[in-house]
Structure 1
Amino acid sequence: MERDDTREGLHCLVTGATGYIGGRLVPELLVAGHRVRCLARSPDRLRDHPWANHAEVLGGDVTDAGSVARALEGVDVAYYLVHSMSSGKDFEETDRRAARIFAEQARAAGVRRIVHLSGLTPAGVPEDGLSPHLRSRAEVARILLDSGVPATVLRAAVVIGSGSASFEMLRYLTERLPVMVTPSWVRTRIQPVAVRDVLGALVGSARMPSHISRTFDVGGPDVLTYRQMMLRYATVAGLPRRVVLSLPFLTPGLSSHWVGLVTPVPASLARPLTESLRHEVVCHEHDISRYVAGPPAGPTGFDDAVRLALRRVREARVSTRWSSASVPGAPSDPLPTDPGWAGGSLYDDQRELAVDAPPGALWRVIEGIGGDNGWYSFPLAWAVRGCLDRLAGGVGLRRGRRDAAHLRVGDSLDFWRVEEIEPGRLLRLRAEMRLPGLAWLEMRVSTGADGRTRYRQRALFHPRGLLGQAYWWSVSPFHAIVFGGMARNIARAAASKAACAPGRAPAA
């Protein structure tokens, strides 16, 4: 991990490290040369982060003064990145109490600076006119600024990055609805900001001059209505142009239920998001640039932020790189601890069987799949799918395979391509037939706790737009025949090969 050693690193505490921003901030602080301690109610949730072995993790809660005091010992900069997203009656009091405890303990511990990420509030709107969550965020910011510790409060509107609740709501609404009847808040002007720019401002704030204690607005270069954001998302994602109609009578409560129905974003989370969209949230100053260096190419535009959020969903959601990575991917990438509904839809058909054959025999069957050997399931269905693909301008099944027994990364295999191969363990194929989305077929060999060979098969599909959703649900009734039969027949073929191997008697 490369570090910036031009100046001595600071000791930073990050609260909310299990959240969207916190989980992405920690590796950025580490790369900048700082030492990082995390305070989390559920430390186990941080185990799968690529940076887990590079940061100190303490269990505790920001509403418990004792655990906050212990976490702040020896800390130079304290990042306060917690905020309740519940809709219960007491969430404002909980946020208020937690902020006061944190402010008091930071002052007692001699912390040099508090850094907080808050919500951008509209100019000229009194606090009692704000949504409950924006009002609470404004109050928390005020408590931290009044703590007696120099504080930097960054105020952002919609953060664009895979895993951000605001971005995921935008993603699903746009992808799933070619024609949208929407609430009036789609006409609200918003200044979205890329997550990488937010993280850059947070990291840079650690070294802000000690006499600075104030709020800063952070936003990207584009000011758009929510409707414009949906239309531009569709363009970047390669979707047909969307039709967006607004209805003024859809209240925030109805809007949240509508979002919960159309998208996997929970209604309890959608409500504070939609309530906040009633207000115009546009930056009124860009003073942060006086103290924190921005990206060399300037602030990230909306279209580029969306591209960054979409570009690696395939690798992050399908591959296993997170389990062995030592450094994080780009800030816009999904993380293993993001909610299950984040990162776009990924449909998954899994099959697992015990195989009466040694792992080597099973692997030989897997590596020999396709071409003249076929796909071990419903040959007519595969032939028809190949013909339909050729009629649609695709490659069909005519490519066969390069070698009858062996595969390597990049090989074409009928209408698939070998994306990854670990000899004896894993074969992952990426579909190259014409599809309204991205598809993979993954086959694994392992040995179970009982010593028996196990075969695991996964068919994955990442749909593009409503057509992709319709495609998956139209073919899913046949998966038991096609993919279920494939798994069973591969297991039988491996058992047959093992039984007929030299030195072994055929199975009875």
Structure 2
Amino acid sequence: MPDAPLVLVTGATGYIGGRLVPALLRAGYRVRTLTRHPERLAGRDWSGDIEVVRGDATDPHAVREALRGVAVAYYLIHSLASGRRFERLDRTAARVFARVAREEHVGRIVYLGGLYPEGEDLSPHLQSRREVGEVFLDSGVPTAVLRAAVILGSGSASFEMLRYLTERLPVMVAPRWLRNRIQPIAIRDVLRYLVGVASLPPDVNRSFDIGGPDVLTYRDMMQRYAAVAGLSRRVIMPVNVLSPRLSSHWVGIVTPVPHRIAKPLVASLVHEVVVKDDDIRDYVPDPPEGRIGFDRAVELALQRIKEAAVLTRWSSASLPGTASDPLPGDPTWAGGSLYVDERTTPVRASPASLWSVIQGIGGENGWYSWPLAWSVRGWLDRFSGGPGLTRGRRDPARVAVGDALDWWRVEDVQELRLLRLRAEMKVPGLAWLELWVEQDPVGRTLFRQRALFHPRGLLGHAYWASVAPFHAFVFGGMQANVALAAERREREGGAGPERGGASGPAAQSDATSQSAA
């Protein structure tokens, strides 16, 4: 697209920027990024489709190189640290960027700031965002400042704080700011506005409030999140003694959101943040289906975990085209809790022999580890209303997506590579078992096994803590016995699955051999 307008995105390694870049590419723009760490973009699907300038936003030379020939410049650099130093850095970077943008005749600056009430003493976080917006509006370059409150999308710091507080605290003593009104907005609508304002008329130089269709208190948001996520209604008891400072420490203890991030977020929540003027819709019209409401935004943010398409790790998983899913650059605490038990064993057999054992697992072929433990767990599941181990297999040697394997459902099959199973047993959360066939750099066959669990509420965390001590025996035994079965198949050169597992003698003899070793 040599004739397409060139846009610059700063902050492309961050939450918003990492989602904005592919949205702009889809809209037909050429994209350049300015980043101090280009290597952090290497894992993105679009990294080969953009120009990258290495540099810091406070360095005029790097900023000039990045802005040369740019039609629209997106400024998405924010700090969630506290203290005067971060405010000075934000001010310095904004002034450098604005001056160079004017000198390079950039057509427009777009800045995403925070929504705040007029006439109130603001937190340092919101005060800095207001000041940066004013720097750009006074720069002489046409500017659109978008002001948003809580952004709803997995990976957003505000959303993750809401998620963790709601999921981990069925009963809580809460600060009074939970009664303040907030107008949250879905990440998809934020991106739609960001892309849309790139084509504003050149005489538009102003701020726009952006928000979703719902105005809620933080307490309402927690209750509605719980309902969408399938959790019980939360018991929330507001008290007046929890100051923002104490509240931020409380958030830092209850959630994995770091204190340095929780502190400015909580300080911002002491204000009511409601859209006063939504005339941005005159410039960027709503889609036919309207703006995304709170409940639907939460559903979209949880879509990956509900659809159970777990890839390498939850914080780096992404469904194509799903703007609210976590991306590789998201913080490690984003995306909710995901417990992982991962084990890898070298196998003296070909990938084909190992795969034949893996795809024959379950049913009469068994689970290659602790037959009595699997049977007891199956009966407990049946007693609680689950399928237990009664469903068996459709075919003794082959699996297909959608097949039932005892209390598992086949979710993904990649021939000679991966079998992913989703648990349908009664557990307080979502669980998967992944069985991988891999090879190391010297050509050895590897059997990699991952058990993953996304807890639902406090009971889910307690459940994982109760079963994790047994994984060394259950999954460790499975590792050893599947490897032995594959090696035996390799020696015999036979076809069809090994028999034994949880329902026959082979697993027990293999386990004995493993114990002796």
Give the superposition deviation at 1:196.
Answer: 0.8
Q: CA–CA distance in 1 between the matches of 2:215 and 2:467?
A: 41
Give the superposition deviation at 1:315.
Answer: 5.3
Alignment of 1:52-131 (within 5 A): 52-125=47-120, 129-131=121-123
Alignment of 1:262-341 (within 5 A): 262-314=254-306, 318-319=310-311, 328-341=320-333
Q: CA–CA distance in 2 between the matches of 1:325 and 1:225?
A: 31
Q: 2:370 aligned with 1:378, yes or no? A: yes
What CA deviation, in whole Å up to 9, does each residue of 1:210-236 have, x standing for no partner? 111010100111111100100011111
What CA deviation, in whole Å up to 9, does each residue of 1:336-364 have, x standing for no partner? 22111111111100000111222222111
- Is the Cα–Cα contact under 8 Å of residues 197 and 295 in structure 1 kept in the other structure? no
Q: Which blocks of at least 5 consecutive residues in structure 1 are unaligned?
A: 503-508
Deviates most, 309-318 or 210-219: 309-318
2:505 corresponds in structure 1 to none
AA aligned to 1:96 is: R
Q: 2:147 aligned with 1:155, yes or no? A: yes
SS of residue matched to 2:302: helix
Give the superposition deviation at 1:321.
Answer: 11
1:51 corresponds in structure 2 to 46
Give the superposition deviation at 1:245.
Answer: 1.1
Give the superposition deviation at 1:279.
Answer: 0.7
Give the superposition deviation at 1:88.
Answer: 4.0
Q: 2:32 aligned with 1:37, yes or no? A: yes
Give the superposition deviation at 1:320.
Answer: 5.8
**Change over 3 Å in CA distance of 1:56–1:325 after alignment to 2:** farther
1:221 corresponds in structure 2 to 213
**Change over 3 Å in CA distance of 1:317–1:95 after alignment to 2:** farther
- Is the Cα–Cα contact under 8 Å of residues 163 and 334 in structure 1 kept in the other structure? yes
Q: 2:466 aligned with 1:474, yes or no? A: yes
Q: CA–CA distance in 2 between the matches of 1:327 and 1:349?
A: 23
SS of residue matched to 2:381: helix
1:506 corresponds in structure 2 to none
* TM-score, with structure 2 as normaliser: 0.92
The percent of aligned pairs where both chains have the same amino acid is: 63
SS of residue matched to 1:39: strand
- Is the Cα–Cα contact under 8 Å of residues 317 and 328 in structure 2 kept in the other structure? no
Give the superposition deviation at 1:290.
Answer: 1.5
Give the superposition deviation at 1:291.
Answer: 1.2
- Is the Cα–Cα contact under 8 Å of residues 183 and 251 in structure 1 kept in the other structure? yes
Q: Which runs of 4+ in 1 moved over 4 A?
A: 314-317, 324-327
- Is the Cα–Cα contact under 8 Å of residues 181 and 244 in structure 1 kept in the other structure? yes
Q: CA–CA distance in 2 between the matches of 1:204 and 1:358?
A: 54
Q: 2:350 aligned with 1:358, yes or no? A: yes
- Is the Cα–Cα contact under 8 Å of residues 226 and 234 in structure 2 kept in the other structure? yes
AA aligned to 2:185 is: V
How many residues were matched structurally? 494
1:448 corresponds in structure 2 to 440
Q: CA–CA distance in 2 between the matches of 1:448 and 1:192?
A: 47
Q: CA–CA distance in 2 between the matches of 1:300 and 1:147?
A: 33
1:505 corresponds in structure 2 to none
- Is the Cα–Cα contact under 8 Å of residues 317 and 327 in structure 2 kept in the other structure? no
Give the superposition deviation at 1:496.
Answer: 2.2
- Is the Cα–Cα contact under 8 Å of residues 311 and 317 in structure 2 kept in the other structure? no
Q: CA–CA distance in 2 between the matches of 1:495 and 1:400?
A: 25
In angstroms, what is the RMSD of aligned CA positions? Answer: 2.0
**Change over 3 Å in CA distance of 1:205–1:139 after alignment to 2:** same
Give the superposition deviation at 1:247.
Answer: 2.1
Q: CA–CA distance in 1 between the matches of 2:184 and 2:444?
A: 53
Give the superposition deviation at 1:9.
Answer: 3.5
2:164 corresponds in structure 1 to 172
Deviates most, 46-55 or 223-232: 46-55
Structure 1 residue corresponding to 2:180, chosen from 184, 188, 192: 188
- Is the Cα–Cα contact under 8 Å of residues 304 and 319 in structure 2 kept in the other structure? no
SS of residue matched to 1:14: strand
Alignment of 1:251-266 (within 5 A): 251-266=243-258
What CA deviation, in whole Å up to 9, does each residue of 1:112-149 have, x standing for no partner? 10000000011221xxx110010000000000111100
Structure 2 residue corresponding to 1:408, chosen from 400, 404, 410: 400
Q: CA–CA distance in 1 between the matches of 2:206 and 2:478?
A: 62
Give the superposition deviation at 1:296.
Answer: 1.9
AA aligned to 1:116 is: Y
- Is the Cα–Cα contact under 8 Å of residues 317 and 334 in structure 1 kept in the other structure? no
* TM-score, with structure 1 as normaliser: 0.94
Alignment of 1:381-460 (within 5 A): 381-460=373-452
Q: 2:236 aligned with 1:244, yes or no? A: yes
SS of residue matched to 1:74: coil
Deviates most, 46-55 or 166-175: 46-55
Q: CA–CA distance in 2 between the matches of 1:280 and 1:239?
A: 27
2:504 corresponds in structure 1 to none
Q: CA–CA distance in 1 between the matches of 2:288 and 2:332?
A: 34
Q: CA–CA distance in 1 between the matches of 2:287 and 2:457?
A: 32
- Is the Cα–Cα contact under 8 Å of residues 51 and 328 in structure 1 kept in the other structure? no
